[in-house]
Chains A and B, each alone.
Chain A
């Protein structure tokens, strides 16, 4: 069981908006540690999508955005496209474990 909790799956039609939640606790997200998001296409390594809660690396479309509040964070994807179909993971630091922790991953299906 992952330290950060994500829904196993979400889905949406092309053009729609979806959000993926990431729930932590007082030893990770709630303690103020940054949240990062990764996209993983089948058979490939994860790729950073959002870093530092709400920052996009160059090359990542502005359809992707991140937010954080309390012990939770969210990834929002607007204008869904077929190419967005992938697994998404949140990532933070946990002070009680003294290490990095990840969510269990959310599979996004574009209907």
Chain B
């Protein structure tokens, strides 16, 4: 049973960097069959995939074109977790952020969600 536990601040100031972490239990961030994703959900933008990292002989990262210039998703093998960094945030980045495991193209395990508000 895979469990994902999210952590990070719920309030970020405009122009700063949003940082969240997702700790994995029951699987490995280095798995050759899983991908580790970040998504967000807001009333204005709906459910939106942001990016992912995965290991297939080497590390790969893929990002949504909507945030590609501002996002980094990194694995941390020492702690079996992965992280999200989103730079230069604006109030439009206010949303509930989720981490999720991807298997065979779909998302089968999700974190609990973190409401991040961008405000001065």
Contacts and interface: CB of A to CB of B under 8 A. Distances in A.
A46 B105 CA distance: 15
Interface residues of B, number: 19
Contacts, number: 54
A5 to B, nearest CB: 11
Contacts of A104: 46
A45 B110 contact: yes
Given A46-B47, A99-B62, A101-B49, A51 B106 contact: yes
Given A45-B112, A45-B113, A98-B65, A91 B46 contact: no
Interface residues of A, number: 25
Interface in B22-51: 46-49
Nearest to B96: A45
Interface string A90-107: 010100011111111100
Nearest to B45: A2
Interface string B59-75: 00011110000000000
B82 interface: no
A46 B98 CA distance: 9
B11 interface: no
A93 B105 CA distance: 8
Given A46-B110, A98-B65, A99-B62, A52 B47 contact: no
Contacts of A45: 98, 100, 110-113
Interface of B: 46-49, 62-65, 98, 100, 104-108, 110-113
